[in-house]
């Protein structure tokens, strides 16, 4: 799948993968073929840096990026990054097949009907969903379109350049996360229907593919922050304390007695007991699973009763204890945590494998961006 907003620069160089989230900033360096891990870094996003999916404080972000580059001891300065889910609009449109220049104009004209701000204020890119050689001239073809406001992209690029980085591609987050799953998107005899669910700090993304062909991409305005807010309200905590309580005691289901004994409760056990934590989180869980069901029902109406063959979950919000099994049972779909390191060469003498596994959920997107950084740019 072609990467969006990729017209900034197109040399064949290796680039870092960088995800700038509302909660954390993550950077990954890969190198070579097959790709091997060279360095990585994760840091909390400074307060006020991100606002509604856009960079509000470019200087503060640049300072953090400089610190991460120094920590990684990398000399690379080209970067592949992604715009926030909240900042990007994606749509699948139909246009006739025509020469590239005319098609670009046709896509822009058609996309104007679906973008809620003036078309001359956006950066827009598109990708055909089927090989062009298979489509006769003049026939209708499906293209996926990505658009973001120029000021959003400009503030992001300003931050990167202030940190001494050169952006090559600005991608779409869930599409980047899918790149870590590419070997599992096809089998020798079929193209399975795959669900990829990224539960971030500010939003969640649900993507469905058949093989490598995009079928559905939907942003859901529920995420890790909503679980945190529910805990903060129920226990009268500030956001930071609620986030910590969620990490240590949060549960998507009421544990059985045996599971309860396995949980590492300390002196706060009575305050954050499983029943109270579940009661606090349950309304958000119900709303979240309802939104997922609606998206899947929309897909079934559009595409017919196609079953989902496999599903993968990523994002920091997915680490809530018991959440993935709960979603699998509720949706009737086989789900597992995505493993972005599965096809990466890792030097066991340099990296703690257990530590990397503990970061799998958070690093699906930045590893996907870094994979793009070691592939030839189109």
Residue by residue, DSSP assigns 137-189 as TTSEEEEEEEEEEHHHHHHHHHHHHHTT-EEEEEEEHHHHHHHTTGGGS-BTT
List the pLDDT tens digit at each of the 378 positions of the chain: 445 544 444 445 899 999 999 999 999 999 999 999 999 999 999 999 999 899 999 999 999 999 999 999 999 999 999 999 999 999 999 999 988 889 899 999 999 998 888 889 999 999 999 888 888 888 999 999 999 999 999 999 999 999 999 999 999 999 999 999 999 998 888 899 999 999 999 999 999 999 999 999 999 999 999 999 999 999 999 999 999 999 988 888 876 655 554 455 455 666 788 888 899 999 999 999 999 999 999 888 887 777 899 999 999 999 999 999 999 999 999 999 999 999 999 999 999 999 999 999 999 999 999 999 998 554
Between vectors from CA 19 to CA 16 and to CA 23, what angle results, nearest 5°? 145
Token look-up 């869980």 returns 285
Domain map (residue ranges) of the chain? 187-338
Strand 78-83 versus strand 166-172 pairing type: parallel
Q: What is the CA radius of gyration of the chain?
A: 21
| Rounded (to 5) percent helix, strand, coil in the chain | 40, 25, 35
Determine the Cα–Cα distance for residues 110 and 96; give it in Å rounded to an integer: 11
pLDDT at 376: 59
Which fold, 187-338? Nucleotidyltransferase; domain 5 (3.30.420)
Q: How many helices (H) and strands (E) does the chain have?
A: 11, 15
Determine the Cα–Cα distance for residues 324 and 310; give it in Å rounded to an integer: 13
Q: Is 199 helix (H, G, I), strand (E, B) or coil?
A: strand
pLDDT at 209: 95
Token look-up 């193209």 returns 191
Q: What pTM value is reported for the model?
A: 0.91
pLDDT at 108: 92
Query: From start to end of 177-232, where are the E strands?
Result: 193-199, 204-210, 213-220
Closest CA to 129 of 102, 93, 99: 93
Q: Going by C-beta distance under 8 Å and a sequence separation of 6 or more, which residues neighbour residue 358?
A: none
pLDDT at 12: 59
Determine the Cα–Cα distance for residues 153 and 288; give it in Å rounded to an integer: 29
């Amino acid at each position: 799948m072609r990467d969006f907003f990729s017209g900034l620069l197109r040399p064949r160089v290796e680039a870092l993968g960088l995800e700038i989230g509302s909660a954390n900033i993550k950077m990954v360096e890969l190198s070579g073929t097959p790709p091997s891990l060279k360095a990585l870094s994760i840091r909390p996003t400074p307060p006020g840096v991100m606002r509604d999916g856009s960079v509000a404080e470019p200087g503060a972000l640049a300072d953090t990026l400089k610190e991460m580059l120094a920590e990684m001891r990398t000399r690379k300065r080209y970067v592949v990054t992604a715009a926030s889910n909240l900042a990007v609009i994606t749509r699948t449109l139909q246009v006739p097949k025509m020469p590239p220049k005319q098609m670009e104009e046709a896509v822009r004209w058609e996309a104007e009907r679906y973008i809620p701000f003036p078309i001359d204020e956006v950066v827009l890119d598109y990708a055909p969903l089927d090989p062009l050689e298979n489509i006769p001239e003049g026939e209708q073809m499906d293209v996926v379109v990505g658009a973001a406001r120029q000021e959003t992209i400009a503030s992001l690029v300003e931050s990167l350049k202030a940190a001494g980085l050169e952006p090559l591609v600005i991608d779409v987050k869930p599409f980047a996360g899918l790149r870590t799953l590419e070997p599992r998107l096809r089998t020798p005899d079929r193209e399975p229907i795959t669900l990829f669910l990224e539960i971030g700090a500010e939003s969640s993304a649900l993507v469905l593919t058949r093989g490598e062909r995009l079928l559905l991409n939907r942003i859901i305005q529920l995420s890790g922050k909503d679980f945190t807010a529910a805990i903060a309200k129920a226990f009268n905590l500030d956001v930071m304390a609620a986030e910590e309580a969620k990490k240590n005691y949060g549960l998507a289901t009421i544990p059985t007695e045996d599971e309860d004994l396995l949980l590492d409760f300390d002196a706060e056990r009575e305050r954050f007991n499983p029943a109270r934590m579940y009661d606090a989180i349950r309304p958000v869980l119900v709303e979240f699973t309802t939104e997922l069901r609606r998206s899947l029902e929309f897909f079934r109406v559009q595409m017919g009763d196609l079953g989902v063959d496999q599903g993968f979950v990523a994002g920091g919000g997915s680490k809530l204890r018991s959440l993935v099994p709960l979603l699998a049972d509720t949706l009737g779909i086989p789900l597992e945590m995505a493993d972005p390191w599965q096809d990466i060469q890792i030097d066991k003498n340099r990296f703690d494998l257990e530590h990397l596994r503990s970061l799998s959920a958070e690093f699906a997107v930045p590893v996907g961006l870094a994979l793009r950084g070691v592939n030839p740019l189109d």
